[in-house]
């Protein structure tokens, strides 16, 4: 009897492990595919807009570069070594995304943690959505920086959904750190096994965020 109980308990665990392995395989495949499709960005020296983003498998990076091309913006990528591609990085990402809901101070190490944004009028902040919330590296960046008198545009790529309460909490933190105004833009890619192609995502960004104008 105990043998059968152990077997039954082991089946859900095996399913979870297989799902996690499938996700890591899809993420690695996406990263390789998107690495060769990232639009080239040539910001102006006098750029008044900054795009700061964290991306794990490349979707948010693709969106960030499209935004930067539209706005001639300076581009800043955030790195979070604990969330590197692979099973270990995925488990750390899920753990921290969950902990962030319980403890707001549960933030990861990022590089760079601080950027001098004083010369910019508008700052776009981007990340994927993990467990219905912007990914922890973006929260960490907000915690370590000021946004005095700046217009903030939060942008997210996501698979299924996001929680408005998490967006409002991040907005409140940004406003407390000096932001003048805030707006939120988002693009749904769909479930990982059947995401919309990158070209369609870029087209949606052009149509929904930039009134149908194609990037230069």
pLDDT digits (tens, 9 = 90+) for 96-153: 888 876 666 678 999 999 999 999 999 999 999 998 999 999 999 999 999 999 999 9
pLDDT at 16: 52
Tokens in use for 159? 């698979």
* Cβ–Cβ under 8 Å, residues 31 and 170: no
On whether the CB atoms of residues 42 and 70 are closer than 8 A, the answer is: no
Percent of the chain scoring above 90 in pLDDT: 52
Averaged pLDDT for residues 87-95: 83
Amino acid 109: pLDDT: 92
């Amino acid at each position: 009897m105990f043998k059968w109980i152990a077997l039954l308990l082991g089946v859900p665990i095996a399913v979870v492990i297989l799902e996690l392995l499938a996700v890591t395989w899809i993420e690695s495949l996406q990263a390789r595919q998107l690495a060769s499709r990232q639009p080239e960005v040539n910001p102006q020296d006098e750029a008044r807009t900054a795009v700061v983003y964290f991306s794990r498998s490349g979707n948010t990076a693709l969106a960030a570069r499209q935004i930067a091309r539209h706005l001639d913006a300076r581009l800043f990528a955030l790195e979070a070594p604990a969330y590197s591609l692979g099973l270990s990085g995925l488990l750390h990402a899920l753990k921290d995304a969950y902990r962030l809901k319980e403890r707001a101070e549960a933030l990861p190490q990022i590089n760079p943690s601080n950027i001098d944004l004083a010369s910019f009028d508008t700052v776009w902040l981007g990340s994927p959505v993990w467990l219905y919330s912007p990914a922890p590296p973006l929260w960490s960046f907000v915690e370590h920086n000021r946004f005095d008198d700046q217009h903030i545009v939060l942008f997210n790529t996501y698979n299924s959904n996001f929680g408005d309460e998490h967006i409002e909490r991040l907005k409140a933190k940004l406003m407390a750190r000096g932001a003048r105004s805030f707006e939120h833009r988002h693009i749904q890619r769909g479930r990982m096994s059947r995401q919309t192609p990158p070209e369609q995502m870029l087209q949606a960004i052009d149509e929904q965020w930039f009134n149908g104008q194609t990037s230069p």
